[in-house]
């Protein structure tokens, strides 16, 4: 078979080729992007570790100190999404999930007064709630990213936080899911009391969930300030 005649290169083709980044340039860009992700990865890992430690210490009757650190995970996810896109945000989420699983595994080996610090139901609830809520946050943020600057972070965090709270407390403490871990006695969480000590009667875990949800919603509003400042700074740096 005869070879094809050589193709003439038009000036327009040369111009397009000259604008294509070389392999070395693409490699440098990838390295830069990975380094750019590092602060978000470290921040997410630190928040997950801190929350797993602080959740053991009570704050009042309905909360733990971990309730004030965990919602910052949504702030990190949204900043990464705004600055580097949904793919980067998902990578940070998966790192946070992996760190959370590691913390849960460690917690199951540490014995407290009433057994392991982390039970199977708490581990499942924490992992499922975190991954579901964070990935939902990424999806909602991406869908709203072209609107007003506050709409995407606010909507994604509010919806993600609500889903996170509902999933975690239901999986970890609802009597309807006792079959998940029959040996784990969570009857204390089912004690019927006035909601937050003053509302209609409901299982104790409902009050715990509502208090936790309220903190998340409050922090979602407050977090708009650092979100705006940090993303503006990152945009200027680029």
Confirm if 84 and 33 have CB atoms less than 8 A apart.
yes
Q: What is the pLDDT of residues 115-152, one digit of tens each?
A: 777 889 999 999 999 999 999 999 999 999 999 999 99
Asked whether residue 77 is domain-assigned, the answer is yes
Asked whether residue 11 is domain-assigned, the answer is no
Share of the chain above pLDDT 90, in %: 71
Q: What is the CATH number of the domain that holds 209?
A: 1.10.1760
Asked whether residue 178 is domain-assigned, the answer is yes
φ, ψ of residue 50 to 5 degrees: the values are: -60, -40
Confirm if 183 and 140 have CB atoms less than 8 A apart.
no
Q: How much is the pTM?
A: 0.84
Q: Given the DSSP bridges, would you call strands 63-64 and 58-59 parallel, antiparallel or unpaired?
A: antiparallel
Asked whether residue 215 is domain-assigned, the answer is yes
Asked whether residue 29 is domain-assigned, the answer is no
> What is the mean pLDDT of the segment spanning 110-118?
73
Q: CA 84, 86, 90 angle in degrees (round to 5)? A: 105
Q: What is the pLDDT of residues 42-78, one digit of tens each?
A: 999 999 999 998 988 999 999 999 999 999 999 999 9
Asked whether residue 17 is domain-assigned, the answer is no
Distance CA 118, CA 51 (A): 13
- Long-range (24+ apart) CB contacts under 8 A made by 164-168 are 164/129, 164/130, 164/132, 164/133, 164/216, 165/129, 165/209, 165/212, 165/213, 165/216, 166/209, 167/125, 167/128, 167/129, 167/132, 167/133, 168/125, 168/126, 168/128, 168/129, 168/209
Distance CA 89, CA 135 (A): 9
Asked whether residue 183 is domain-assigned, the answer is yes
Please tell me which residue, 8 or 218, carries the higher pLDDT value.
Answer: 218
Where residue 96 falls among pLDDT bands split at 50, 70, 90? very high
Distance CA 223, CA 235 (A): 18
Domain count, the chain: 1
Asked whether residue 22 is domain-assigned, the answer is no
pLDDT of residue 21: 57
Q: What is the pLDDT of residues 149-188, one digit of tens each?
A: 999 999 999 999 999 999 999 999 999 999 999 988 889 9
Q: What's the domain range around 159?
A: 47-237
Look at residue 15 and tell me whether its pLDDT is greater than 70: no
Burial of 203 (0-12, 13-18, 19+ CB in 10 A): buried
> What is the mean pLDDT of the segment spanning 203-213?
96
């Amino acid at each position: 078979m005869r070879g094809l005649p050589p193709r003439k290169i038009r000036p327009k083709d040369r111009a397009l080729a000259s604008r294509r980044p070389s392999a070395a340039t693409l490699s440098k860009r990838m390295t830069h992007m990975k380094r750019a992700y590092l602060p978000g990865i470290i921040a997410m890992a630190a928040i997950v570790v801190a929350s797993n430690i602080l959740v053991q210490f009570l704050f009042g009757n309905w909360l733990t100190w971990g309730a004030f650190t965990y919602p910052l995970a949504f702030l990190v996810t949204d900043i990464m999404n705004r600055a580097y896109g949904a793919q980067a945000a998902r990578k940070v989420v998966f790192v946070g999930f992996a760190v959370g699983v590691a913390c849960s595994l460690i917690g199951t080996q540490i014995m407290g007064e009433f057994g392991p610090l982390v039970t199977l139901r708490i581990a499942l609830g924490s992992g499922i709630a975190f991954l579901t809520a964070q990935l939902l946050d990424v999806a909602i943020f991406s869908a709203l990213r072209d609107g007003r600057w506050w709409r995407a972070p606010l909507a994604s965090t509010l919806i993600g936080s609500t889903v996170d709270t509902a999933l975690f407390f239901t999986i970890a403490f609802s009597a309807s899911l006792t079959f998940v871990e029959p040996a784990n006695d969570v009857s204390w969480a089912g004690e019927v009391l006035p909601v937050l000590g003053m509302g209609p009667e409901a299982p104790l875990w409902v009050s715990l969930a509502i208090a936790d949800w309220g903190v998340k919603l409050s922090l979602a509003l407050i977090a708009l300030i650092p979100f705006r400042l940090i993303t503006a700074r990152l945009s200027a740096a680029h």
